[in-house]
Amino acid sequence: MFEWSHSAVREKLVVVGNGMAGMRTVDELLKLDPARYDITVFGAEPHVNYDRIMLSSVLAGEKSIDEIEINSREWYEQNHITLYAGDAVIAIDPAARNVTSDSGLVVAYDRLLLATGSIPLVPPIPGLKLPGVCTFRDIKDVDTMITAAATQKRAVVIGGGLLGLEAAWGLKRRGMEVVVVHLMPTLMERQLDVPAGRLLQRDLTERGLNFFTDGQTETVLGTDHVTGVRLADGRQMEADLVVVAIGIRPEISLARAAGLDVNRGIVVADNMSTTDQNIFAVGECVEHRGQCFGLVAPLWDQAKVAAHHLAGGDTLLFAPQATATRLKITGIDVFSAGQLNAGEDEDEIVLNDARQGAYRKLVLRAGRVVGVVLYGDVSDGAWYYEQLRKGTDVSDIADRMILGQSATTGGGAPAATDFSKMADDAQICGCNGVCKSAIVQAITDKNLTTYDEVKAHTKASASCGSCAPLVKQLLAATLGTELTAEAAPHVCKCTSATHEEVRTGIASQGLKTQKAVRAAFGWQSEDGCGSCRPALNFYLLCAWPGEYVDDSRSRFINERVHANIQKDGTYSVIPRMWGGTTTPQELLVIAEVARTYDIKEVKVTGGQRLALYGIKKQDLPAVWGELTKAGLVSGHAYAKGLRTVKTCVGLEWCRFGTQDSTSLGKKLEHLTWGSWTPHKFKMAVSGCPRNCAEVSIKDFGVLCVDSGFELQVGGNGGIELRGTDKLCHVTTEDDVLEYCAAFMQIYREEARYLERTAPWVERVGMEYVKSRVVADEAGRKAAYARFLFSQRFAQDDPWAERAEKGVDALEFKPLVMEA
Ligand SMILES: Cc1cc2nc3c(=O)[nH]c(=O)nc-3n(C[C@H](O)[C@H](O)[C@H](O)COP(=O)(O)OP(=O)(O)OC[C@H]3O[C@@H](n4cnc5c(N)ncnc54)[C@H](O)[C@@H]3O)c2cc1C
């Protein structure tokens, strides 16, 4: 440890660059030793420090310049920082220890911090100096684009990387016709592999962007103003605005002129000092052990290290971590980190559902994740990234890891909300490097109760904002029962509306389509995203049974038909076995199917069914056809709906049995199969308190006793083990069915999508559940009636249709059953 200085005579620190890394370093330094330095900051831009990341959102019209300001003028004054904004440093004299600015100021320093960032790459193409051409780096560029979009029509963006696409989308949102010219065959090729890049292009094309890939810009056309762009292969397009976004290079000119070691960037040691021990450097301008940087997450680590040494410390060293990339185009979900493709001795696991626009790839080396690419559903991004960052040995789960955290760990909440299983040092905010424990500690130590407070105190989600929903969920989870309405999670990042607000709005405003809901709540994205579409689909199904038609595209991958793809590319098929029973005839059919189609494995599942594994894709229709003919229906093994009703043999065979648990289990299964619920729903019936069917870890469990039936709810045997709570005691089987249906109906009408009964019961409290299901007899009967009505439109067995239409028609459809 070292002691911070409290000297009355302050040293002089000059900072060159009023950007993100420089000012973060100052921020860290003020926390460590606010009295150590007189600080002078020079910024080439005429602004206070702002969040450069958010320029994309400003261009897209989602934020104003004021909203992206990080430090106000008052902040500089309060912290006794002299700011020269709009006055670039033009020379450093390391021997005399002073800098000279463009306006002629000469300021002495004891320590100098270089944070000059990057400058956009502009290739030597004729015409790029014409009016109407700009880059995408700062407020001035954004102003140029916004002004052009107000009066002009056609824009060409050169560069189909992250910045180019965000620029193109922003211009499109401002009404321009936009063509993206990209040198490579697929977009964002540095962050996405070829299939993901293609999906991205397909989705952006659907949203109205145009692409010229494999396009080498030869000339920018025009005499007084840009008029078009010609490519080397002769393709040509008209343009009123050309945006060049092909990359960046570190701004090293000052450092080089001052005689510091430079390469691609300013060469720094692990303590962020340059070759002059009085001069430190941070941000995109540096090169550390041969590596330069283009995302903010590593810059925050650099800032901490530089501040530590500037404050007199000598222990903290910079060691770059893998970074994760997200694209900030609302409704397009992309996540990538690490290696894109497997090399020798490495494995790739891929799940590609091109029709549904979902794609996942993991690259593994020696049982460890070294790369992840997600497109469409990125909810598991944080979990994969955590494994990658920590180098966790995932050999044991590698075979199913591609299906995501909940599939891998056998159930439970999705990765984003699975905080109890999340390591303390798991990163929540990649941009600002804020981990779970830092947020939890801030919430508890400082009694934070709102998202804004958490953001202000921890900086989590204060940059690109994509982790805001996760931060809100962590706040809610940490506050537990003290959850305030304000802390209730938003449906997703497309909206600030909570689940409850949306559900209420759907009913009270009569909203009957996803589009109408998005319009009513001012969704930021026209089409929603992979998180809100399944949620809205469920809420609408639940609110308007028989009226709203289920949208099979709005499903999580596990639920969609490809979800039963196995790691070797074959499929599994799991017939329903009512109450865990079967017949010789069914067994013969299953055996015959398994033999005919060379099915590798027939396995008894935990839910008392026979699962067929290793079916080739081309055999699926025939397998479904054979099973359907024999009356075997889908077990909905991947549904957010009723899964299984597990039973013991009960009174009929067991000498301890008190009731006929098997037949009661079958009745419950026939009553509830095909029903949609916010998450999967499992049941069990045990014939006596020995509880062989494991009632106490089910969503709804029935424990048979001599005097009747003890009903239990809210159990979970997955990652977050939770024993059931006793609901009540009833005396007849009819009561069991009524209470079960009422509980299920109230759960599905009131829980948040993807909330299992266990957290729901904890959130609302058992007293509340009892008050609705037990105490309020009329309310229970009404809920039972609503349940029965909804069941007329429950999911049918999808196999019959699939068998007829073949593998390309893998869709669930609602069924109108006999009244
Ligand atoms: C549109 C856009 C979107 C982005 N989105 C993301 C994202 O989603 N996620 C992510 O992680 N990163 C993103 N980035 C990258 C991120 O903004 C940068 O990594 C970060 O800003 C770099 O910080 P820096 O301090 O090194 O450079 P900057 O923030 O650029 O600051 C450098 C400052 O130094 C000034 N300067 C240069 N020379 C001098 C001089 N001689 N005298 C005085 N001042 C000088 C410059 O004018 C500039 O203001 C994005 C960048 C852009 C442009």
- Residue 586's pLDDT is what? 92
- Residue 555's pLDDT is what? 64
For the cut 60, the answer to whether the pLDDT of residue 454 exceeds it is yes
Distance (Å, whole) CA 294 – CA 212: 25
Q: What is the mean pLDDT of residues 749-765?
A: 91
Is the backbone of residue 40 left (phi > 0), alpha (psi -120 to 50) or beta? Answer: beta
- Contacts (Cβ under 8 Å, ≥6 apart) of 64: 58
Q: Which residue owns the Cα nearest ligand 1 atom 51?
A: 53
3-state helix, strand, coil in the chain (%, to 5): 35, 20, 40
8 A C-beta contact, residue 359 and residue 351: yes
What is the 119 CA–ligand 1 centroid distance (Å)? Answer: 9
Per-residue pLDDT tens digits for 659-717: 899 999 999 999 998 888 999 999 999 999 888 999 999 999 999 999 899 999 999 98
Beta bridge partners of 429: 434
Ligand 1 atom nearest to CA at 56: 1
What is the 247 CA–ligand 1 centroid distance (Å)? Answer: 13
Q: What is the 3-state secondary structure (H, E, C) of 30-63?
A: HHHCCCCEEEEEEECCCCCCECHHHHHHHHCCCC
Q: Which residue owns the Cα nearest ligand 1 atom 42?
A: 88
- Residue 268's pLDDT is what? 98
- Residue 619's pLDDT is what? 86
Distance (Å, whole) CA 589 – CA 629: 10
DSSP 500-553: HHHHHHHHHTT--SHHHHHHHTT-SSSS--TTHHHHHHHHHHHHSTTTSPP-TT
Tell me how far apart the terminal alpha carbons of the chain are, to the nearest angstrom: 76
Q: For residues 278, 283, 285 and 290, what is the CA-based torsion angle, rounded to 10 degrees?
A: 90
- Residue 556's pLDDT is what? 53
Check residue 10 and report its DSSP letter. Answer: P
What is the 121 CA–ligand 1 centroid distance (Å)? Answer: 14
Distance (Å, whole) CA 730 – CA 288: 70
- Residue 598's pLDDT is what? 92
- Residue 805's pLDDT is what? 58
C-alpha to C-alpha distances, 145 to 149, 179, 559, nearest whole angstrom: 6, 15, 42
For ligand 1, mutation pick of 41, 53, 54 (most atoms within 8 Å of CB): 53
- Residue 451's pLDDT is what? 81
Predicted confidence band of residue 812 (pLDDT cuts 50, 70, 90): very low
Q: Is 56 in the pocket of ligand 1 (CB under 6 A)?
A: yes
Residue 657: phi and psi, rounded to 5, are -60, 140
What is the 117 CA–ligand 1 centroid distance (Å)? Answer: 5
For ligand 1, mutation pick of 57, 87, 116, 427 (most atoms within 8 Å of CB): 116
Ligand 1 atom nearest to CA at 22: 25
Distance (Å, whole) CA 149 – CA 144: 9
For ligand 1, mutation pick of 48, 52, 83, 431 (most atoms within 8 Å of CB): 52
Q: What is the mean pLDDT of residues 273-290?
A: 98
Question: Of 244, 271, 280, nearest to 94 (Cα)?
Answer: 280
For the cut 60, the answer to whether the pLDDT of residue 413 exceeds it is no
Per-residue pLDDT tens digits for 490-523: 888 788 888 999 998 898 888 999 999 998 888 8
What is the 180 CA–ligand 1 centroid distance (Å)? Answer: 23
Question: Chain-wide mean pLDDT for the chain?
Answer: 88
- Contacts (Cβ under 8 Å, ≥6 apart) of 583: none
Per-residue pLDDT tens digits for 79-90: 999 999 999 999
Q: Is 328 in the pocket of ligand 1 (CB under 6 A)?
A: yes
Q: What is the mean pLDDT of residues 435-451?
A: 88
Q: What is the mean pLDDT of residues 40-53?
A: 96
Cβ of 292: how many Cβ atoms within 10 Å?
17
Q: What is the mean pLDDT of residues 471-480?
A: 83
8 A C-beta contact, residue 738 and residue 728: no
Lowest pLDDT segment from 179-193, 437-451, 581-595: 437-451
DSSP 107-130: EE-SEEEE---EEE-----TTTTS
Ligand 1 atom nearest to CA at 138: 53
Q: Is 299 in the pocket of ligand 1 (CB under 6 A)?
A: yes
For the cut 70, the answer to whether the pLDDT of residue 100 exceeds it is yes
SS3 at position 225: coil
What is the 163 CA–ligand 1 centroid distance (Å)? Answer: 12
* Tokens representing residue 242 in the block: 């050309």
Q: Which residue owns the Cα nearest ligand 1 atom 50?
A: 53
Report the greatest alpha carbon distance in the chain.
98
Q: Is 243 in the pocket of ligand 1 (CB under 6 A)?
A: no
- Residue 559's pLDDT is what? 52
What is the 266 CA–ligand 1 centroid distance (Å)? Answer: 15
Distance (Å, whole) CA 14 – CA 108: 8
Q: Is 19 in the pocket of ligand 1 (CB under 6 A)?
A: yes
What is the 528 CA–ligand 1 centroid distance (Å)? Answer: 30
8 A C-beta contact, residue 520 and residue 477: no
Ligand 1 atom nearest to CA at 284: 26
For the cut 60, the answer to whether the pLDDT of residue 457 exceeds it is yes
Distance (Å, whole) CA 171 – CA 621: 46
Amino acid at 634: S
8 A C-beta contact, residue 762 and residue 774: no
Q: Is 53 in the pocket of ligand 1 (CB under 6 A)?
A: yes
Q: Which residue owns the Cα nearest ligand 1 atom 49?
A: 19
For the cut 90, the answer to whether the pLDDT of residue 267 exceeds it is yes
8 A C-beta contact, residue 410 and residue 719: yes
What is the 22 CA–ligand 1 centroid distance (Å)? Answer: 10
Beta bridge partners of 113: 15, 280
What is the 574 CA–ligand 1 centroid distance (Å)? Answer: 53
What is the 17 CA–ligand 1 centroid distance (Å)? Answer: 9
Q: Is 464 in the pocket of ligand 1 (CB under 6 A)?
A: yes
Total residues found in the chain within this entry: 819
8 A C-beta contact, residue 729 and residue 712: no
For the cut 50, the answer to whether the pLDDT of residue 719 exceeds it is yes
Distance (Å, whole) CA 320 – CA 501: 42
For ligand 1, mutation pick of 296, 325, 330, 332 (most atoms within 8 Å of CB): 296
For the cut 80, the answer to whether the pLDDT of residue 445 exceeds it is yes
Distance (Å, whole) CA 588 – CA 569: 27
- Residue 129's pLDDT is what? 94
Q: Which residue owns the Cα nearest ligand 1 atom 6?
A: 53
Per-residue pLDDT tens digits for 619-649: 888 888 898 888 888 777 778 888 999 999 8
Distance (Å, whole) CA 572 – CA 558: 12
Q: Is 52 in the pocket of ligand 1 (CB under 6 A)?
A: yes
What is the 283 CA–ligand 1 centroid distance (Å)? Answer: 8
For the cut 90, the answer to whether the pLDDT of residue 104 exceeds it is yes
SS3 at position 87: coil
Burial group, residue 226, by CB count within 10 angstroms (0-12, 13-18, 19+): buried
Predicted confidence band of residue 818 (pLDDT cuts 50, 70, 90): very low
Give per-residue burial for 351-369: e unless 16+ CB within 10 Å, then b. Answer: bbbeebbbbbbbbbbeebb
Pairing outcome for strands 210-212 and 266-268 = unpaired
Ligand 1 atom nearest to CA at 90: 41
Distance (Å, whole) CA 199 – CA 352: 10
What is the 138 CA–ligand 1 centroid distance (Å)? Answer: 8
Burial group, residue 90, by CB count within 10 angstroms (0-12, 13-18, 19+): middle
For the cut 90, the answer to whether the pLDDT of residue 143 exceeds it is yes
Ligand 1 atom nearest to CA at 23: 25
Distance (Å, whole) CA 176 – CA 168: 9
8 A C-beta contact, residue 539 and residue 502: yes
Q: Which residue has the tokens 């960046």?
A: 248
Q: What is the mean pLDDT of residues 193-204?
A: 92
Per-residue pLDDT tens digits for 573-627: 888 899 999 999 999 999 999 999 999 899 998 889 999 888 887 888 888 889 8
Q: Any alpha helices (H) in 207-325, and if so which ranges? A: 253-257, 296-310
- Residue 816's pLDDT is what? 25
Beta bridge partners of 41: 15, 83
Per-residue pLDDT tens digits for 380-399: 888 899 899 889 999 888 88
For the cut 70, the answer to whether the pLDDT of residue 355 exceeds it is no
Distance (Å, whole) CA 72 – CA 85: 12
Q: Which residue has the tokens 């996760």?
A: 470
> Within a 13 Å sphere around the CA of 631, how many CA atoms are in the beta-carbon half?
8
- Residue 683's pLDDT is what? 97
- Give percent of the chain with pLDDT exceeding 70: 90
- Contacts (Cβ under 8 Å, ≥6 apart) of 734: none
Q: Is 42 in the pocket of ligand 1 (CB under 6 A)?
A: yes
pTM of the predicted structure, to 2 decimals: 0.62
- Contacts (Cβ under 8 Å, ≥6 apart) of 767: none
Question: Of 457, 461, 458, nearest to 429 (Cα)?
Answer: 461
Q: Is 136 in the pocket of ligand 1 (CB under 6 A)?
A: yes
Predicted confidence band of residue 651 (pLDDT cuts 50, 70, 90): confident
8 A C-beta contact, residue 798 and residue 756: no
DSSP 788-815: HHHHTTPBPPTHHHHHHH-GGG----B-
- Residue 411's pLDDT is what? 39
Burial group, residue 525, by CB count within 10 angstroms (0-12, 13-18, 19+): middle
For the cut 70, the answer to whether the pLDDT of residue 484 exceeds it is no
> Within a 13 Å sphere around the CA of 637, how many CA atoms are in the beta-carbon half?
28
Select the more confidently predicted residue: 286 or 638: 286
Secondary structure E strands in 427-477 = 427-429, 434-435
Please compute Rg for the chain using Cα positions.
Answer: 30
Q: What is the mean pLDDT of residues 762-784?
A: 91
8 A C-beta contact, residue 127 and residue 222: yes
8 A C-beta contact, residue 677 and residue 748: yes
Give per-residue burial for 481-508: e unless 16+ CB within 10 Å, then b. Answer: eebeeebbbbbbbbbebbbebbbebbee
Q: Is 22 in the pocket of ligand 1 (CB under 6 A)?
A: yes
8 A C-beta contact, residue 263 and residue 250: no
